[in-house]
Structure 1
Amino acid sequence: MNLNEKVIAITGGARGLGFAMARHLGARGARLALLDTRQEALDAAVARLAEQGIAASGFVV
């Protein structure tokens, strides 16, 4: 599956299964839009992904 430069939105993406999916898909080249209810959790998740070279942005919903 080629995910290079594809943007994938993940609800609950800052923690648990959502974050696990984000790491998995991001490692395969996807750019991520993480959607969650807590800004602090999103900021931490985006930072952790960036450390792994994965492009992600967080959005509070």
Structure 2
Amino acid sequence: LDRDTGRQTLDLLFGLASRSGHALVIVTHDTEVAARCGRVLTLDGGVMLPLSPDRSR
């Protein structure tokens, strides 16, 4: 997806998840997308890194 279409798609997905009360799981390498999420888990070489204190990252 181009940047604008990707943003519109994420807006739609976040809105649907919020209105329905469901969780939304996103896998991305895009830090701007990750910044929109309430919780970010990071994998490095297949190993989950500890959460950092800010925003449960």
* TM-score (normalizing by structure 2): 0.39
Q: Which has the higher helix share?
A: 2
Is the radius of gyration larger for structure 1 or structure 2? 2
Greater RCO, 1 or 2 (C-alpha within 8 Å, sep 6+): 1
Q: Which has the higher strand share?
A: 1
* TM-score (normalizing by structure 1): 0.38
